[in-house]
Structure 1
Amino acid sequence: MPCSAESQRSCCPRNVQEACVRALELLATDIPALEEPIRRCREQGGEASRRLLGDFLIQFSGSLSEGQLQAIDEVYAAEALSRPPPLSLDALEGLWLAAAPCKILVWRGDITQLAADVVVNAANEEGLGCFQPTHRCIDNVLHRGAGPRLRRECRNCMERRPGKLMPGTMPLLTKAYHLPAKAMLHVTGPQISPGSRPSSLSHEQLRLAYANCLDAARDAGLRSVAFCCISTGLFGYPAREAAECALTAVHRWLQVPENLASMSTIVFDVFTEHDEQIYHDLGPQIFHSSSRPI
């Protein structure tokens, strides 16, 4: 929940505020338009400078110098001092669909707190993140949590890639930077027009989004994967059909012995209570449910 105006200062520690102002002032040497917003942030105090920095980094499409990136790293380092420890996957409370040899969990919570080997980002075709600060999409959430070095790596990856990050194609594998995960997979699922039903092509593209991410994680030696709900939300894929496709795709992938041996934990991280109920309904029909991992 956002802080009230009265409690902003206690919500944003002084060391974070000071690091934010230093980073913003360094950015303003190249971007004079930041000078007035920075002045207003000083007057407001509290979380104002952190909001300004976060929103600027989401919408900024240019390149940052190493010095500017280091100053922003200091903001994240200051925040880490007061942040709760990352969440171990084995300690999560949710619906365990399988216990061994690969644990399968449906969990509702903040994917940016998970200490998974790799978290999956539902990206757009450009693969550079969301540039609209007001969007509450997972692409925006993960880029905010990881910091601007993530976008720089994504840009470098996309420049080497032969084409866009299209539905059904292999994901990008990057570092996760300031997230507790080791790495991030950026994959694009199909987009459905509002009110439409998924076609057989859309279904296959969504299945491949999950299977290709697991292939990429296996090949990179990453043994725990946390999935978001790919293609739902702004991409319009109906929640129940998306959940059934996701669960079935992962279950089918694990039927290959080499795949099963390569994974320790797979988490379906759902965003809403509605999605959680759908996964609770469908999950036991596809997997054999288990109360806790072994």
Structure 2
Amino acid sequence: MEIQLIRGDIIRVGAEAIVNAANPSLLGGGGVDGAIHEAAGPELLAACRTIRNNQYPNGIPSGIAVATKAGQLDARWVIHTAAPNLKLGKANPKILADCFTNSLYVASRHDAHSIAFPAIGAGAFGWPAEQVAEIAVKAISEWVSTNKHITSIHKIIMVSHTDEVQRAFETSFGMESIDEIAA
């Protein structure tokens, strides 16, 4: 399984599944969530409202991952997961790890061959980029070790949008980032 670190915009990396560091409401927000909703168009919001109406009327719990079609994005799927909000005192690293592993499970169940992750929790939810990167590499490595022979996923892309996240990913994953390939 290939793992890449890319410096760029997650909506442009060309993955079949894009992970949205979602607001638990699933109704959009700022940062990655806002950018994905804006680029995907109204179809994404409608799909999220359906999930709210049918599965999670109060929003998705932290660590859970759900998939929607990707609307106007080049991806096939958007995998929505909400980190525990460190700024609100929700500091369980296991739940943050679940964001990564559950997203991988959901993407695999949808037969995605590639998945792109942002630094889930490192934005508005207040997790330090270094801690997110350490949790991500451990969770992803364990998931790949267990599932590499039975999953459709062949490529995992970690996308950094800031210097801080890029340094954290490079340190934790032990590799250098490449610049986003122009679409």
After TM superposition, the score normalised by the length of structure 1 is 0.56
Residue from 165, 176, 186 that aligns with 2:70: 176
Q: Is the 8 A contact 2:5 2:176 kept in 1?
A: no
SS of corresponding position for 2:145 = coil
| 2:126 is the alignment partner of 1:236 | yes
Distance 1:262 1:274, change over 3 A: same
Distance 1:290 1:228 in 2: 16
- Structure 1 segments, 4+ long, off by >4 Å, are 257-261, 289-292
Count of equivalent residues: 177
| 2:14 is the alignment partner of 1:119 | no
Distance 2:115 2:104 in 1: 8
Per-residue CA shift, 1:6-35, capped at 9, x if unaligned? Answer: xxxxxxxxxxxxxxxxxxxxxxxxxxxxxx
Q: Measure how far apart 1:193 and its partner are.
A: 2.2
Counterpart of 1:167? Answer: 62
The structure with the greater share of residues assigned to helix is 1
Q: Is the 8 A contact 2:44 2:68 kept in 1?
A: yes
Per-residue CA shift, 1:127-150, capped at 9, x if unaligned? Answer: 1112xxxx4x11110011000111
Q: Measure how far apart 1:262 and its partner are.
A: 2.7
Counterpart of 1:224? Answer: 114
Residue from 18, 24, 33 that aligns with 1:139: 33
Counterpart of 1:103? Answer: 2
SS of corresponding position for 1:167 = coil
SS of corresponding position for 1:274 = helix
Distance 1:243 1:221 in 2: 25
Amino acid at match of 2:162: T
Amino acid at match of 2:37: H
SS of corresponding position for 2:86 = coil
| 2:79 is the alignment partner of 1:185 | yes
Amino acid at match of 1:278: A
Amino acid at match of 1:272: T
Amino acid at match of 1:153: A
Distance 1:259 1:129, change over 3 A: farther
Q: Measure how far apart 1:290 and its partner are.
A: 9.0
After TM superposition, the score normalised by the length of structure 2 is 0.89
Larger-Rg structure: 1
Q: Measure how far apart 1:114 and its partner are.
A: 2.1
Kindly report the root-mean-square deviation, in angstroms, between the aligned alpha carbons of the 2 structures. Answer: 2.1
Gaps of 5+ in 2: 179-183
Counterpart of 1:19? Answer: none
